[in-house]
Amino acid sequence: MNKRMITVLFFTLIAVGLLISCGETGEEPQAAADTTEVADNSAFILADSASESFSSCSYRFSVYMTGSYSDTPELTGNLTGSRSDEMGNPLLRIEMGQDSTPDDGIAPELTLTLVSGIDSSYAYSSDENILEKGFLEEGGADLLRPAGYALMNEYFLDDPFADEIASQSATAKGLDTVGTVPCENYLITYPGGQKAMWSLGAEDHIPRRVERMMTDREGNGLSVVLEVYDLDISPEISDSTFIFVPPDDARVEIYSAFLTVGTEAPHWTLQDIDGNSVSLEEMRGSIVILDFWATWCSPCIVVMPQIQSIFENYPEEQVHVFGVNIWESGDPGAFMDENGFSYGLLLEGDDVATDYKVSGIPTLYVIDQDGNVAFVEVGANPEIGEMLSSTVDSLLEDE
């Protein structure tokens, strides 16, 4: 397995299901000697203002894991970013590599370059001399997923510490040093029970480290830690920073995070909960709605009532509605019964998910009467019910 794939696997495992329960880990991160525990959210009011005060920055980073995944290679590299009021996403350039022996004093080779520009994202692996390019409107931002935990999001958000301020749970945990910067540590417990330890610059109040505490499926405690060094909040950024030009002999691949509208939907045959075979080809002439989901996925559960409403509001001979269960560790049939969901359930859909380019769940597709993709949405959009209804109504009117 090449370095890029190992890096992608590291973050995909986190995003897709190893860290599905965020909360009490059973062991708190080790605090500094001074462990004064006084609730004080004023520190995050200052951090919020300080982090909003700059629109561009550059820094070195280290990302590592503790607990049950402490043997995962450390990720190190450099990040430059810039945001503006006109752009929804920041412009980013990240160069990173893996360090399996971080204490040996040898810096790892930075073999992966990730760039997010105005309308496209790029991922270049120097090991393989392969460049992947994806348009943002087609999910190209997914190419930056390997650097997900290397991005200190709070540097690029409006009201970056609104959640921490609202939690009213900041507990001082003493002093520490990140790189050469003295920091004050604060433990935050969020409304859902998740915890994080923040290290805020003692003088400038800008975060230099965040330790996000989680549990794996077996309930074992672990953390993902981001440390920031050599932070520059007024870097000189050239026009070429967020443009990537690969070597002349690089192989270029076009990336899309999902099947685009108008694409022929891949054929499949799956078993339903009763053991019957269901195939897409047999439903040609009808509209088919597919929701790729899993029982452990909280965002999936959020949209399921709206999918149930679609199932109830349209005749089954016109609109077939299925939940395609993937990446599963529980009992999907029992889950749907217990929660009153009665639309179709298709089992063991992992291979179909690959064909449909599913990289995160929920992912929803509407397939038209001719077997082509008519609609796709990734994530728990609160308006998904209206979006599905609008698509289905339009397809029925065109008959």
List pLDDT tens digits, range 273-302. 999 999 999 999 999 999 999 999 999 999
**How many angstroms separate the CA atoms of 301 and 350, rounded?**
18
Could you say which DSSP state residue 315 is in? -
Question: Bridge partners of 198?
Answer: 186, 210
Question: Using 50, 70 and 90 to split pLDDT, how confident is the model at 40?
Answer: low
Give me the mean pLDDT over the 57-81 stretch. 93
Residue 139 has pLDDT above 50, yes or no: yes
CATH number attached to the domain at 269-397: 3.40.30.10
- What stretch(es) of the chain map to CATH 3.40.30.10? 269-397
CATH class of 3-254: mainly beta
Q: In this predicted model, which residue has the larger pLDDT, 258 or 348?
A: 348
Indicate yes or no: pTM above 0.85.
Answer: no
In this prediction, residue 102 carries a pLDDT of 81
Q: CA 158 to CA 15: how far, in whole Å?
A: 24
Average model confidence (pLDDT) across the chain: 87
H helices of the chain, in order, are: 3-13, 42-52, 162-167, 298-313, 332-338, 350-355, 384-397
> Amino acid identity of 324?
V
Encode pLDDT of 182-239 as tens digits. Answer: 999 999 998 878 899 999 999 999 999 999 998 876 778 899 999 999 999 999 999 8
Q: Is the pLDDT of residue 103 over 90?
A: no
Can you tell me the mean pLDDT for 352-361?
A: 93
Secondary structure letter of residue 286 according to DSSP: S
pLDDT band at residue 339, thresholds of 50, 70 and 90? very high
The yes-or-no verdict on residue 23 having pLDDT over 60 is: no
> According to the model, what pLDDT value does residue 217 have?
67
Please give the share of the chain, as a percent, with pLDDT higher than 90. Answer: 72
Q: What is the pLDDT of residue 70?
A: 84
Instruction: Kindly state the average pLDDT of the residues 3-17.
Output: 36
Residue 311 has pLDDT above 80, yes or no: yes
Question: How many CB atoms within 10 Å of residue 66?
Answer: 18
- What is the per-residue pLDDT for 142? 86
**The pLDDT value given to residue 138:** 83
Residue range(s) in the chain whose domain bears CATH number 2.50.20.10: 3-254
Beta pairing class for 319-325 and 287-293: parallel
User: Mean per-residue pLDDT for 339-346?
Assistant: 97
At 35, is the pLDDT very low, low, confident or very high (cuts 50, 70, 90)? Answer: very low
Give residue for tokens 């971080």. Answer: 102
Q: Tell me the mean pLDDT in the region 51-70.
A: 93
Strand order through the sheet with 221-232: 171-178, 181-189, 195-201, 207-215, 221-232, 56-67, 74-82, 91-99, 112-116, 120-125, 130-135, 251-254
